[in-house]
Amino acid sequence: MQLGVNEVLQLSPDDASAKAAKGLVIPAKWPRLEYDDEAVWGECQGSGSKPYQVQVDKAGPAFKCSCPSRKFPCKHGLALLLLLAQHGGSFKPATPPQWVTEWLATRRQRAEKQAEKQEQKKADIASAEADPQAAAKREATRLARMGSGLDDLARWLGDRLRQGLATLPTELAQWEAMATRMVDAQLPGVAYRLRLICAAVDKGEGWPARVLSGMGRLQLLIEAFSRLDQLPAAVQADVRNALGLNMDRDEVIATGERVSDDWLVEAQASDEEGRLWVRRVWLRGQQSGRSALLLDYAHGGRRFERSWVTGTVSAMTLAYFPGNAPLRALVVGDQSLRPASAHVPLGFDAALDALSAMVAANPWQSPLPLRVDDGVPVRDEAGWGLQLGERRLPLKLREDDGWQLVAESGGTPLSLAGEWDGESLRPLSAWRDGLVWFEEAEGA
């Protein structure tokens, strides 16, 4: 692996990290710069007495650094590769120190375990094909367990409604107990939705309406499962996904709808849920106009296998997960960067039409992508919003991000791309003249 300067900078999570990394491309700041066939590593002197240990696996590239940054890759990892590209003579061949060999060994073990899982999946599929009756019996057993759990949930929801929403703030422990029951019934998606509803109880003005809406979607899911065999195949896929029964990635790549296009990275968000990082990368096909969601998970830290840069365009093929209005997809094969094309404006009415179509097709998909090209950010007694003539769209923004948007827009309409949660838009990026000039700050 030998990346050029531009290729390294494309791995940066944001412009601030790229700028900070450039400031560290000074060999004198690095008392140690070494490499071997597998990795590159170095020590960067920071503000403390102990230098940061920085390492890059050439096979990825994959990064690790001892600094406390939550960005990935951090400025030190980027700077190490920039140094390799610009000052390769400063590196010397060496035997990796223990902190490098242990990390590489952990990565190899993880890769081996993943390969074992894939082999086991293949063996399970082969076993099911060899003994379809046994596979059908296992599936029937699982569906029966799920049905029993959903029956319990339906009765429990009915009890909550009969007692009235006013008592909910004193019953939060019951929500967690029911979520645990759903996990036992092999319904992780339902458990997740219960916890989301519980988190909204007694939070902010209008919380009863939000809670009631969430309970309604759960009831709709229960009804859909009860007649699963009668639903179209695409709707069945949406119901299974909402319940937490995701299709195997290999099966998606093998059978999913494929769309080849020049895909614009329109926005991306990374959120932490306990020790699990979830990253959503939102793409838009430049020819097809299709939206796509790349969903990734990382445990412990924000270390995802592939890096994406908002505003870049890649020619690649996506395989969509099945659904009534498919959004989630996987990258199939290689990708190559393309020049960013002119930003085609999308009016608010057209954006709402597209959004309403997605909600009608799959009421359990959340969040949904939303881009608006003719709004002005404003701050008033109701909080942050996007003014669109006489209409106002609520924005979910941190104060610093909101004032940055106001300053950059100068009171003129701008292009915002982000996520709609049913009540407000979370802006993740803003555009001007085809260039990204705003991204949501880390930790928002």
Residue-wise pLDDT tens digits, 224-236? 999 999 999 999 9
Answer whether residue 107 is part of any domain.
Answer: no
Cα angle for residues 115, 12, 286 (degrees, 5° grid): 85
Q: pLDDT-derived band of residue 345, with 50, 70 and 90 as boundaries?
A: confident
pLDDT digits (tens, 9 = 90+) for 264-303: 999 998 887 767 788 999 999 999 999 999 998 877 666 6
Answer whether residue 444 is part of any domain.
Answer: no
Which pLDDT score is estimated for 234? 94
Answer whether residue 120 is part of any domain.
Answer: no
Task: Decide: 16 and 82 in contact? Cβ < 8 Å.
Answer: no
Q: pLDDT-derived band of residue 126, with 50, 70 and 90 as boundaries?
A: low
Q: Which of 222, 214, 217 is nearest to 182 (CA)?
A: 222
Same domain, 296 and 376: no
Q: How far apart are the first and last CA of the chain?
A: 34
Same domain, 306 and 277: yes
Which pLDDT score is estimated for 124? 65
Region of 442 on the Ramachandran plot (φ > 0 left; ψ -120 to 50 alpha; else beta): beta
Query: Residue holding tokens 């019953």?
Result: 171
Distance CA 427, CA 404 (A): 12
Distance CA 339, CA 264 (A): 10
Reply yes or no on whether the pLDDT at 441 is more than 60: no
Specify the amino acid at residue 109: Q
HSE-up of residue 104 (Cα within 13 Å, Cβ side): 20
Of 309, 338, 367, which closes a domain? 338
Reply yes or no on whether the pLDDT at 310 is more than 80: yes
Which pLDDT score is estimated for 191? 93
Distance CA 149, CA 244 (A): 13
Buried b (16+ CB within 10 A) or exposed e, 162-190: eeebeebeeeeeebeebbebbeebbbebb
> What are the CB-based long-range contacts (under 8 Å, 24+) for 391-397?
391/348, 393/348, 393/424, 393/425, 394/423, 394/424, 394/425, 395/424, 395/425, 395/426, 395/427, 396/421, 396/424, 396/425, 396/426, 396/427, 397/426, 397/427, 397/444
Which pLDDT score is estimated for 128? 58
Distance CA 234, CA 321 (A): 10
The separation between CA 43 and the C-alpha centre of its own chain, rounded to angstroms, equals: 31
27: exposed, middle or buried (Cβ count in 10 Å: 0-12, 13-18, 19+) = middle
HSE-up of residue 428 (Cα within 13 Å, Cβ side): 25
The parent domain of residue 139 ranges over 133-243
pLDDT digits (tens, 9 = 90+) for 49-107: 889 999 998 877 888 999 988 777 889 999 999 999 898 888 999 999 999 999 888 88
Same domain, 322 and 380: no
Reply yes or no on whether the pLDDT at 136 is more than 90: no
Same domain, 145 and 227: yes
Range among 47-61, 118-132, 276-290, 335-349 with highest mean pLDDT value: 276-290
Mean per-residue pLDDT of the chain: 87
- Beta bridge pairs of residue 68: none
Q: Cβ–Cβ contacts within 10 Å for residue 121, how many?
A: 14
Cα dist from 267 to 19, 88, 264, 276, 320, whole Å? 20, 34, 9, 20, 18
Specify the amino acid at residue 68: P
Answer whether residue 159 is part of any domain.
Answer: yes
Of 243, 275, 294, which closes a domain? 243
Same domain, 370 and 333: no
Same domain, 394 and 322: no
Answer whether residue 125 is part of any domain.
Answer: no
Same domain, 366 and 427: yes
Question: Could you give the number of structural domains in the chain?
Answer: 4
Answer whether residue 405 is part of any domain.
Answer: yes
Same domain, 174 and 209: yes
Same domain, 186 and 151: yes
Q: pLDDT-derived band of residue 193, with 50, 70 and 90 as boundaries?
A: very high
Task: Decide: 398 and 379 in contact? Cβ < 8 Å.
Answer: no
Reply yes or no on whether the pLDDT at 121 is more than 80: no
Same domain, 20 and 57: yes
Q: pLDDT-derived band of residue 130, with 50, 70 and 90 as boundaries?
A: low
Reply yes or no on whether the pLDDT at 442 is more than 60: no
Mean pLDDT of 326-331: 95
| Phi, psi values for residue 120, rounded to 5° | -65, -40
Coil, strand or helix at 297: strand
Of 338, 364, 396, which closes a domain? 338
Coil, strand or helix at 130: helix
Same domain, 139 and 237: yes
Same domain, 271 and 296: yes
Range among 52-66, 108-122, 169-183 with highest mean pLDDT value: 169-183
Answer whether residue 126 is part of any domain.
Answer: no
Which pLDDT score is estimated for 113? 79
